[in-house]
């Protein structure tokens, strides 16, 4: 292989060295200069048609599109010269000739690149006095609504559907300023798993999510980095909330996992996080056999006493963990079972799809068969999957039962009623959960810090996006305090230290820490990954 040559140039006076063939827009990014653009997207082909990224290359008579022009040795590139700025200002004015300027009712307002660039560099007053062209809206099918009047014809959506979704159903119809994006005949986006991404990459409000339509203004949203829990791919996402309710999921760039994309299956399964019927306080079964609300210290003291009493006989514990809960939660539950002693049984239930649905243009990404986030972590820690492909059945009562997160919604009303000790740590008080001796309110993964391990063994962090009910605590914290009471070291003070504790217990996690996971996650230790502990990819 021949070595790739390095070329040197300056961009707005900053020296840049890049491999030969690097495009100006990418070179500029390396020195922190963002060149305004619409049609260019790093993961799509570049048609150079929005004409926003025109820059001056000294010695070249015409302005050059930075998105397709490679850097040449010795180039002096100016993005802020009068010529370049005037061209941008002129082009921005063209964009507004037919744009309806209906920002007050547009979902994209606040996160719209047309708004941003016009605000930054556009003319103070538009000169167009002409009546605007009106195209109206079109339902593209699936979750997508198209507003032709707002469309700036960057064709990112057309190229995404062709190049990434592998489903060439969008095209430009007509020409000139009558151009509109349309679906072919009646075949819309209805059955496409990836179409939701075109709303994300639309630089303006031309493509709208029906799910998010008029739900919230962009500036009222709070976003937190998280992981999609709806399959074992572990797509990096941002959870956008308003008034402590999830409004939408947006994919977050991770080149190793999901690039800029996520599937519609995952994207629209967030409503459960907004459910209000939560367990609000620790419930402890009293002498009369009734569940009564209590404070945390009372509950923990009672729990510790009950566990110590039971543990004396080394009864053997069955742990049911949810694959939608953090690794730290399940790990400390398993540890609790080990400390109590006897023969433990660790199980989890997860729905499973019939097929895997890979993303044609980015094959690393797929809607995996396993429709939950953390099955791989549970397998690593010795849990066994039970139940059917709907994530139901497969559970039997046991002498000592610890349930973390699994709602037990499908189980008979008397499930666990015969258990000697039944500890339920979760969010919802289902019929079966009412049989527990201790019902302890836990946070969902959206309300806490923690990690998931995806199908290939990548440990990825998530951060709290929502405020939990006041008395809910992360399951790892509840179990950590219990373990400390049982003499198993100090209670971890943070999710990070709970994770370190797992590192002491499981070789897969040893040597890993939150700091090391960074924004792209880290693979579990190699030896374990390729060993017999479940290299099977689901």
Partner 1 sequence: MAYPYRHPKETRILSEAFGDPSARTLEGWKKRGGYKALEAALNMTPEEVVGVIKESGLRGRGGAGFPTGVKWSFFKDDGKPHYFLINADESEPGAFKDRELMRWTPHQVIEGAMIGAHAIRAQHVYIYIRGEFFEPAQILARAIEECYAAGIAGKNVMGTGRTIDVTLHLGAGAYICGEETALMNSLEGRRGQPRIKPPYPAVSGAFGQPTNINNVETVCAVPHIVNNGGAWYKTFGTEKSPGTKLFNVSGHVVRRGNFEFPLGFSLKELIYDVCGGIRDGRKLKAVIPGGSSVPILSADEIDIALDYESVAAAGTMLGTASIIVMDDATCMVKQVRRMVDFYAHESCGQCTPCREGTAWLAKILRRIETGQGSEADLDALLDIGKNMTGTTICVLSDSAAAPTASSIKKFRDEYLSHIRDGVCNARAVAAGANA
Cα(427)–Cα(425) distance, rounded to whole angstroms?
7
Total residue count of the chain as it appears in this document? 538
**DSSP-derived secondary structure letter, 215:** T
Question: In whole angstroms, how close is the CB of 129 to partner 1 at the nearest point?
Answer: 8
DSSP per residue, 435-490: G-SEEEEB--GGGS-EEEE-TT-EEEEE---SPPPTT-B-HHHHHHHHHHHTTSSP
Nearest to 446 by CA among 215, 239, 234: 239
Minimum distance, C-beta of residue 87 to partner 1, in the bound complex (Å): 6
Q: Which is nearer to partner 1, 47 or 394 (CB)?
A: 47
Smaller CB distance to partner 1: residue 94 or 184? 94
Identify which of residues 96 and 481 has a Cβ nearer to partner 1 in the complex: 96
3-state DSSP call for residue 376?
Answer: helix
d(CA 167, CA 360): 9
For residue 39, what are the CA distances in angstroms to 65, 83, 196, 197? 11, 21, 18, 15
CB of 76 to partner 1, least distance (A): 19
Task: Let me know: does 201 contact 216? Beta carbons within 8 Å.
Answer: no
Report the nearest approach of partner 1 to the CB of residue 21 (Å).
Answer: 13
Q: Measured from the CB atom, is 62 or 290 closer to partner 1?
A: 62
Q: How far is the CB of 91 from partner 1 (least distance, A)?
A: 6
- Residues 6+ away with beta carbon under 8 Å from 294: 281, 282, 283, 284, 302
> Phi and psi of 435, rounded to 5°?
-80, -5
CB 359 within 8 A of CB 365: yes
Q: How crowded is the C-beta side of 19, counted as CA atoms within 13 Å? A: 3
CB of 177 to partner 1, least distance (A): 4
228 vs 238: CA distance, rounded Å: 9
Considering the complex, state which of residue 82 and residue 277 has its C-beta at the smaller distance from partner 1.
82
Question: Which one, 96 or 465, has the nearer CB to partner 1?
Answer: 96
CB of 28 to partner 1, least distance (A): 19
Q: Which residues bind partner 1 (CB under 8 A)?
A: 47-52, 54, 62-63, 65, 68, 86-87, 90-91, 93-95, 97-98, 127-131, 133, 152-153, 171-172, 174-179
User: Checking phi first, is residue 245 left (phi over 0); if not, alpha (psi -120 to 50) or beta?
Assistant: beta
**Nearer to partner 1 by C-beta: 63 or 299?**
63
Rounded CA gap, 472 and 470, in Å? 6
Q: Residue 235 CB, nearest distance to partner 1 (Å)? A: 33
d(CA 413, CA 436): 11
- Burial of 176-198, coded b for 16+ CB within 10 Å and e otherwise, reads eeeebbbbeeeebbeebbbbbbb
- Residue 16 or residue 153: which is nearer to partner 1 going by CB? 153
Q: Are 442 and 319 in contact (CB under 8 A)?
A: no
C-beta of 55 vs 408, nearer to partner 1: 55
Q: Which is nearer to partner 1, 205 or 251 (CB)?
A: 205
CA angle 170, 54, 108 (to 5 degrees): 50
What is the nearest approach in angstroms of partner 1 to the Cβ of residue 218?
24
CA 149 to CA 350: how far, in whole Å? 45
Pick between residue 37 and residue 385 the one whose CB is nearest to partner 1.
37
In the complex, what is the shortest distance from the CB of residue 61 to partner 1, in angstroms, rounded to a whole number? 8
As measured in angstroms, the least distance from the Cβ of 69 to partner 1 is 9
In our burial notation (b when 16+ CB lie closer than 10 A, e otherwise), range 442-464 reads bbbbbbbbbbbbbbbbbbbbbeb
């Amino acid at each position: 292989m021949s070595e790739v040559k390095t070329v040197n140039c300056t961009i707005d006076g900053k020296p840049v060295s890049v491999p030969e063939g690097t495009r100006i827009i990418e070179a500029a990014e390396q020195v922190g200069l963002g060149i305004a653009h619409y049609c260019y997207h790093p993961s799509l082909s570049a048609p150079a048609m929005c004409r926003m990224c025109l820059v001056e290359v000294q010695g070249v008579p015409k302005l050059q599109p930075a998105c397709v022009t490679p850097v040449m040795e010795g180039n002096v590139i100016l993005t802020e010269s009068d010529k370049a700025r005037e061209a941008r200002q002129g082009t921005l004015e063209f964009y507004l000739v037919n744009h309806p300027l209906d920002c007050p009712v547009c979902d994209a307002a606040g996160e719209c690149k047309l708004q941003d660039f016009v605000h930054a560099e556009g003319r103070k007053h538009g000169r167009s006095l002409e009546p605007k062209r009106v195209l109206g809206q079109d339902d593209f099918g699936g979750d997508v609504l198209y507003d032709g009047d707002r469309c700036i014809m960057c064709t990112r959506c057309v190229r995404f559907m062709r190049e990434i979704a592998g489903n060439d159903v969008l095209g430009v119809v007509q020409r000139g300023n009558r151009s509109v994006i349309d679906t072919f005949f009646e075949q819309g986006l209805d059955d496409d798993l990836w179409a939701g991404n075109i709303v994300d990459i639309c630089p303006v409000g031309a493509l709208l999510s029906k799910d998010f339509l008029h739900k919230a203004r962009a500036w009222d949203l709070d976003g937190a980095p998280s992981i999609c829990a709806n399959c074992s791919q572990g797509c990096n996402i941002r959870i956008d909330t308003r008034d402590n309710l999830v409004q939408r999921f947006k994919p977050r760039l991770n080149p190793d996992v999901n690039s800029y994309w996520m599937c519609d299956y995952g994207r629209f399964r967030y409503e459960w996080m907004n459910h209000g019927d939560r367990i609000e306080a620790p419930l402890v079964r009293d002498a009369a056999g009734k569940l009564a609300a209590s404070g945390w210290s009372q509950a923990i003291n009672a729990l510790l006493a009950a566990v110590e009493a039971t543990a004396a006989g080394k009864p053997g514990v069955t742990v049911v963990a949810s694959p939608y809960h953090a690794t730290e939660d399940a790990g400390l539950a398993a540890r609790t079972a080990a400390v109590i002693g006897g023969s433990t049984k660790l199980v989890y239930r997860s729905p499973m799809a019939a097929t895997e649905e890979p993303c044609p243009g980015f094959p690393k990404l797929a809607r995996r068969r396993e429709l939950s986030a953390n099955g791989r972590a549970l397998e690593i820690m010795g849990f066994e999957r039970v139940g059917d492909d709907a994530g139901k059945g497969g559970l039997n009562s046991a002498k000592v039962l610890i349930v973390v997160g699994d709602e037990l919604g499908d189980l008979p009303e008397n499930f666990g009623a015969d258990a000697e000790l039944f500890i339920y740590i979760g969010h919802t008080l289902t019929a079966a959960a009412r049989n527990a001796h201790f019902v302890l309110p836990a946070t969902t993964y959206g309300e806490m810090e923690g990690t998931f391990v995806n199908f290939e063994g990548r440990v990825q962090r998530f951060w709290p996006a929502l405020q939990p009910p006041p008395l809910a605590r992360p399951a790892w914290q509840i179990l950590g305090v219990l373990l400390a009471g049982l003499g198993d070291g100090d209670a971890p003070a943070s999710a990070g230290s709970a994770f370190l504790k797992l590192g002491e217990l499981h070789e897969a996690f040893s040597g890993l820490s939150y700091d090391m996971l960074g924004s792209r996650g880290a693979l579990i230790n190699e030896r374990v990954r390729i060993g017999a502990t479940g290299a099977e990819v689901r």
